[in-house]
């Protein structure tokens, strides 16, 4: 997200310089759906630099989009070597969604998950306003209704939620979470340095470590979308994780 205005090669330069280990490649700019040649090239460039492909950040919206439209997304994910595809739970928030809209999201997610599982790829919902994963309660209901072992969810701090409340929000969905988008916005969408919400992120990392599972923690935004600030933000992320290690 931060570096969508840079080439894939430039993204890898910044990633390597910041000592980050993986990248989630987005479908909107760097790896378009269905463009398998580009996906294969980006995969090769990533591997050449020792950087793991964490996931493929698609903009497939289950429900409004049918699973047939997922085919191109899946083709790029396979060529990219992504173990996971990020998808979206429709285009309507949980409070406004009709029963039919919710059923459509469930139906098309299941169909997409069947396609993905055939080639060993998992799906995970973006945890975002304006979709059926805009609250912990709705997310849990959706995942239960989908009922597919290859469908999980991302998590990110809901906009405007205080630190303690955000950590509690994560705690509720934690068994289903495999990836976290890391950034510090406060009080709404103002982009702050990661260190500005240390209390939040220490609480998050404590919960993640307590599961005993591996999670990808991905820097999604940095202030001003400034590539020169990625290394500093990555250093803060590493410090916070290591401080959590020291408490154990």
Question: Which residues are within 8 A (CB) of 70 and not within 5 positions of it... i.e. 6 or more apart?
Answer: 60, 108, 111, 112, 115, 116
Q: How many CB atoms lie within 10 A of CB 189?
A: 9
According to DSSP, the residues that pair with 152 across neighbouring strands are 124
- Pairing type for strands 151-155 and 177-182 reads parallel
Condensed to tens digits (0 to 9), the pLDDT of residues 94-106 reads 999 999 999 999 9
Q: How many CB atoms lie within 10 A of CB 19?
A: 10
Condensed to tens digits (0 to 9), the pLDDT of residues 24-75 reads 999 999 999 999 999 999 999 999 999 999 999 999 999 999 999 999 999 9
Higher pLDDT, 54 or 246: 54
Which pLDDT does position 244 carry in this prediction?
Answer: 52
| Preceding peptide of 187 cis, ω within 30° | yes
Condensed to tens digits (0 to 9), the pLDDT of residues 116-156 reads 999 999 999 999 999 999 999 999 999 999 999 999 999 99
According to DSSP, the residues that pair with 125 across neighbouring strands are 87, 153
* Element spanning 54, H or E: strand 52-61
Which pLDDT does position 247 carry in this prediction?
Answer: 46
Measure the CA–CA gap between 35 and 20, rounded to whole angstroms. Answer: 26
Condensed to tens digits (0 to 9), the pLDDT of residues 154-177 reads 999 999 999 999 999 999 999 999
Give the residue-averaged pLDDT of 231-241. Answer: 95
User: Nearest 5°: CA angle at 207, between 205 and 213?
Assistant: 90
Assigned token pair, 214: 């591996």
Which pLDDT does position 242 carry in this prediction?
Answer: 84
């Amino acid at each position: 997200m931060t570096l969508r205005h840079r080439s894939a090669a430039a993204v890898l330069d910044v990633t390597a310089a910041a000592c980050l280990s993986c990248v989630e490649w987005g479908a909107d700019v760097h790896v378009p759906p269905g463009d398998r040649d580009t996906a294969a090239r980006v995969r090769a460039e990533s591997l050449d630099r020792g950087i793991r492909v964490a996931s493929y950040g698609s903009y497939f919206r289950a429900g409004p989009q049918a699973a047939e439209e997922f085919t191109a997304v899946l083709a790029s994910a396979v060529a990219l070597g992504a173990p996971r595809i990020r998808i979206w739970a429709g285009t309507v928030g949980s409070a406004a969604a009709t029963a039919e809209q919710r059923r459509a999201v469930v139906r098309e997610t299941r169909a997409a998950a069947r396609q993905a599982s055939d080639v060993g790829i998992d799906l995970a919902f973006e945890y975002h306003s304006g979709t059926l994963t805009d609250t912990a309660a709705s997310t849990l209901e959706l995942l239960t209704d989908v009922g597919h072992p290859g469908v999980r969810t991302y998590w990110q701090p809901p906009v405007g939620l205080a630190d303690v409340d955000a950590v509690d929000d994560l705690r509720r969905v934690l068994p289903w979470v495999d990836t976290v988008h890391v950034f510090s916005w406060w009080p709404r969408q103002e982009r702050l340095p990661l260190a500005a919400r240390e209390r939040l992120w220490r609480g998050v990392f404590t919960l993640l470590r307590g599961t005993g599972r591996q999670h990808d923690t991905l820097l999604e935004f940095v202030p001003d979308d400034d590539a020169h600030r990625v290394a500093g933000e990555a250093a803060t992320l590493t410090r916070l994780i290591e401080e959590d290690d020291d408490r154990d």
